[in-house]
Structure 1
Amino acid sequence: MFDIYHSDEGDTWRYTLGQSGERPLLVIGLNPSTATQERADPTVARVRKVAALHGYGGFVMLNLYPVRATDYRKLPVTVSKVAFERNLQAIEDVVAQVPEPHIWATWGQSVTYHGYFLKARDQLIERLAKYNPKWFRLGELTATGHPRHASRLDYNWRLSAFDLE
């Protein structure tokens, strides 16, 4: 089903998942859930639909942390340094391959739950700056200024510029 897929640790860490296509939408969520190379989960199904509705020929789902969990609160309290660094590098590798990258930030308010989510977000923003990506959000920001998670969207919303400041 998905021709872009990179995972390890027995598929418990997923770095990339997506469909090739011209002008892909790069999407950065919080952490992967149950989507595999063979099947989408609800979040990935929404991401695929948003990409198509906004004229993107493909998409790549990325996350701030690569460890799978259906509930981010059940992720380990302590970050795996190996998972963390491999994930940042995988994201940078994807962004580096896309001319004029468009990145949809969709990590949601839950980004504040684990300090390593915020650390990954900040490091990614810094590392990716040299590729001059255009950052987007869907819908209004949360009350505390974070982009909404893909599971909390209305398909009538349009992608809007996301000011990283």
Structure 2
Amino acid sequence: MQYLSQKARFSRCKQYRYTLERSWDAGAGTVLFIGLNPSTADHRQDDPTIRRCVQFAHDWGFSRLIVTNLFAFRATYPEDLKRASDPVGRYNNKWIKQSYQQSQLRIACWGNHGEHLGRAAALLRRLPDLHYLKMNRSQQPSHPLYLRATTLPRAWQHQDGR
């Protein structure tokens, strides 16, 4: 896909990625995907997960994508994330909140490790109006990479009724 803009916000040390954004000229509005943690994608290069999220957002009629994560620490494997001394990142909550406010559709997609340090539960308490694509057996929202391209968002009804 041809982008109008590609952005990413990193910590000074580059070990943390707070946001990644892509925009294109078809459609309107912004989708926020909240994953587990960033991997290799940056302001120039997409990884397979970002390509899948862009395709979902485009197919749903949106023109912009923002990706944030429960943990801003860049790691390819969950084990590396769990060994990090500060996997959340100093400014991560600020960027999640700002991205949430800029979006019209918010997709939770952190997979099976969102319970680490209680991050998923904390986020669910602070952010209403989340959607998911599919629930794992662990009752955590599935990672988007291996879902069918025709998958549609579903409103997430939390245990507290939100």
TM-score tier by shorter-chain length is: 0.7 to 0.9
Which has more helix, going by share of residues? 1
Assess if the C-alpha contact under 8 Å between 1:4 and 1:20 holds in 2: no
Q: Displacement, 1:82?
A: 7.1
Contact 2:73–2:88 (8 Å) recurs in 1: no
The yes-or-no answer on 1:10 pairing with 2:4 is: no
- Cα distance in 2 for residues equivalent to 1:71 and 1:78: 11
Q: What is the match of residue 160 of structure 1?
A: 154
What TM-score do you get using the length of structure 1 for normalisation? 0.82
| CA distance 1:37–1:128, shift in 2 (3 Å) | same
**What is the aligned counterpart of 2:91 among 86, 91, 97?**
86
Counterpart position of 2:124: 125
1:151 aligns with one of 142, 145, 149: 145
**Is the Cα–Cα contact under 8 Å of residues 4 and 60 in structure 1 kept in the other structure?**
no
TM-aligned CA deviation for residue 153 of structure 1: 1.0
Mapped partners of 2:85, 2:152: distance in 1? 34
Give 1:75's aligned residue.
Answer: 81
Q: How does 1:26-45 map to 2 (within 5 A)?
A: 26-45=32-51
TM-score by length of 2: 0.83
Cα 1:106–1:81 change in 2 (3 A) is: closer
Stretches of 4+ aligned residues off by more than 6 angstroms: none
1:96 to 93, 101, 104: 101
Q: Aligned partners of 2:111, 2:82: CA distance in 1, in Å?
A: 19
Question: Matched residue of 2:61: which SS?
Answer: coil
Decide whether aligned partners of structure 1 residues 82 and 124 sit closer, same or farther in structure 2, where only a CA change above 3 A counts: closer
1:133-144 residue pairs with structure 2 within 5 A?
Answer: 134-139=129-134, 141-144=135-138
Work out whether residues 72 and 88 of structure 2, in 8 Å CA contact, stay in contact via their aligned partners in 1.
Answer: no
Measured in 1, the distance between the counterparts of 2:61 and 2:150 equals: 14
Look up the SS of the partner of 2:83 in the other structure.
coil
**Structure 2 CA distance for aligned equivalents of residues 145 and 81 of structure 1:** 22
Contact 1:7 1:13 in 2 (8 A): yes
* Count, aligned residues: 153
Shift of 1:78: 5.3
Task: Name stretches of at least 5 consecutive residues in structure 1 with no aligned partner.
Answer: none
- Of the three residues 48, 53, 56, the one matched with 1:47 is 53
Q: Which runs of 5+ in 2 are unaligned?
A: none
One-letter amino acid matched to 1:91: I
> Aligned to 1:108, which of 102, 108, 111?
111
Amino acid in the other structure paired with 2:14: D
